[in-house]
Amino acid sequence: MRELSQQPTEFELRHRNAQFAEKARMGKKPTKPSRQELLTKRSPLSLWALGAIIFVVIGGVILEFLRLMFL
């Protein structure tokens, strides 16, 4: 493991630069998005809460359909 004060080697710099250039050529965003950018894209509703809401709505529709069919 490298120490924190040690500079990256020329090979590592060239390798990182090549990766950056390749991503830029492919049209991808070559830098990682910041934490703030990731948080702004997140849904305000968690996945399990969304699942519970969908379960209640779909379940209610199915029960109403069964009630109309058999009662």
Domain-wise residue ranges, the chain: 10-70
**pLDDT surpassing 80 at residue 3:** no
Cβ–Cβ under 8 Å, residues 29 and 23: yes
Residue 3 burial (C-beta neighbours within 10 Å; 0-12, 13-18, 19+): exposed
- pLDDT of res. 1: 52
Write out pLDDT tens, residues 5-58: 688 899 999 999 999 898 888 887 777 778 888 778 787 888 899 999 999 999
Q: Which two tokens stand for residue 12?
A: 């590592």
User: What pLDDT score was predicted for residue 64?
Assistant: 95
- 4 pLDDT above the threshold of 80: no
State the Cα–Cα distance between residues 17 and 24, nearest whole angstrom.
11
Instruction: Decide: pTM greater than 0.85.
Output: no
- Residue 61 has what pLDDT? 95
